[in-house]
Amino acid sequence: MLKKGADMEIEKKQLIGKARLADVAAMVGVSIVTASKVLTNNSGNNTRVSVETRRRITEAAQQIGYRPSIAAKMLVGKDTKTIGILLDVNSPPEHFMRVSRMQEEAEKHGYWLIIGECRANMSNIANFISDFVSRGVDGFISIAHVHRDIGSQVIELFRQVGKPVVYYDMPPELLQPELACVYVDFAAGISRATEYLYELGRQRISFLMPWINYEHGIYHFVTERERGFVQVMRKYGLKYDLEFNYRNNIWGSDLVCEKVFPVIARLLEEQQPDAVIAGNDSFASLVLSYCHRNNLVVPADLAVIGFDNLEFSGFVYPSLTTLDPHTAEASQTAVSLLLDMIRTGKMPEKHQYAFVPELIIRESAK
């Protein structure tokens, strides 16, 4: 029988963080070999274990916080229940939200994430992938392949590794039929926002995203947003100036009022917009702040739309109309897709999922 009550609580406090396989075996009254067979799911020895004994061993391990080491699982050729997540160290806040959502989903299935914040060079990325392989991860979810100058090399490196991998977002030119991928249709989202503003009677619509990194090729997050905006502006014969963002690029600066307000002032002076679509919620909130400080009424004088639907977007005043990229659902899908690949050892028939951002209408544009 397992120890229970106050004695169990004392022992639990003593053992958590220090629990050994021998402690589990002693609590249940079985040999270490038997406890190991159950907890590593090892069918490699001839020891037979009853259903009841398996239950008691599993319960004892949970009570004292014992978890089989990754090394032990690797030795018996079993899954380590770990997923390697690779993302860029300079990722935007929305990418870290993805990781949080992926962790929640992975935990539901008994998996844990190992996170590598890599830099945008092949040597650094290769080192992280090699380290993950040495730790026995069962598969990968990559957000580090989106650099246009090295993306194809990252994909080829994953092919050589030979473990299941799901790519989260993908530059269109790198999206190949055989790759498992979950991606956001940025162009469709921005198109919807632009159409909505036109339906409201706005015709002097500006796109604000002066945050452009040239070092590894312009991110598709930017170019796809631009593409969606231009499609609708051309459809209705409206004037636009995308070059404004390139002329006023502040990549690498802190997103603070002192840096961004002069850019917003130039945008309003040069383009005289009656609506602004910002590339993300941070820029959009800075537009709201600038308007408030300069006696511009939103949305009467200027309608404002953001992108990402970050938590604060509903708290600012006026509340921010924005595009929700379905981060929770997309992240859950990425994990589920990878786990399917790990379990079956093959690519599912449906292995590419596109998520079209949803327009969340609030006070800043209505």
Residue 76 has pLDDT above 90, yes or no: no
Tally the C-alpha atoms within 13 A of residue 242's C-alpha that lie toward its C-beta. Answer: 15
More confident residue, 49 or 102: 102
What pLDDT score was predicted for residue 44? 52
Whether the Cβ atoms of residue 136 and residue 112 lie closer than 8 Å to each other:
no
- Domain membership flag for residue 125: yes
- Domain membership flag for residue 101: yes
- The CATH number of the domain holding residue 53 is 1.10.260.40
Judge if 103 and 219 occupy the same domain: no
Judge if 19 and 103 occupy the same domain: no
pTM: 0.79
| Alpha carbons 132 and 162: distance in angstroms, whole number | 13
Tell me the per-residue pLDDT of 336-360, one tens digit each, with 9 for 90 and over.
Answer: 999 999 999 999 999 999 999 999 9
Tell me the per-residue pLDDT of 220-279, one tens digit each, with 9 for 90 and over.
Answer: 999 999 999 999 999 999 999 999 999 999 987 787 899 999 999 999 999 999 999 999
Judge if 180 and 190 occupy the same domain: no
Judge if 94 and 49 occupy the same domain: no
Judge if 53 and 153 occupy the same domain: no
Structure confidence at residue 68 as a pLDDT band (50, 70, 90): low
Judge if 155 and 191 occupy the same domain: no
More confident residue, 25 or 350: 350
Judge if 158 and 117 occupy the same domain: yes
Structure confidence at residue 216 as a pLDDT band (50, 70, 90): confident
- The CATH number of the domain holding residue 108 is 3.40.50.2300
Judge if 214 and 299 occupy the same domain: yes
More confident residue, 82 or 6: 82
Q: What percent of the chain has pLDDT over 70?
A: 90
Structure confidence at residue 212 as a pLDDT band (50, 70, 90): confident
- Domain membership flag for residue 365: no
For range 132-140, the mean pLDDT: 91
Structure confidence at residue 364 as a pLDDT band (50, 70, 90): very high
Judge if 202 and 93 occupy the same domain: no
- Domain membership flag for residue 361: no
Of 7-16, 104-113, 286-295, the range with the lowest mean pLDDT is 7-16
For range 89-99, the mean pLDDT: 87
- Domain membership flag for residue 166: yes
Judge if 190 and 320 occupy the same domain: yes
Judge if 214 and 295 occupy the same domain: yes
| Alpha carbons 250 and 219: distance in angstroms, whole number | 15
- Domain membership flag for residue 30: yes
What secondary structure does DSSP assign to 103-166, as a single string? HHHHHHTT-EEEEEEE-SSHHHHHHHHHHHHHTT-SEEEEES---TTTHHHHHHHHHHHTS-EE
Judge if 190 and 176 occupy the same domain: no
Domain end marker among 45, 75, 105: 75
| Domain coverage including residue 146 | 82-184+328-355
Residue 137 has pLDDT above 70, yes or no: yes
Tell me the per-residue pLDDT of 27-55, one tens digit each, with 9 for 90 and over.
Answer: 999 887 788 778 766 555 556 888 899 89
- Domain membership flag for residue 363: no
The number of distinct structural domains making up the chain is 3
| Alpha carbons 340 and 353: distance in angstroms, whole number | 14
- Domain membership flag for residue 135: yes
Terminal Cα-to-Cα distance of the chain (whole angstroms): 66
Residue 11 has pLDDT above 90, yes or no: no
What pLDDT score was predicted for residue 41? 65
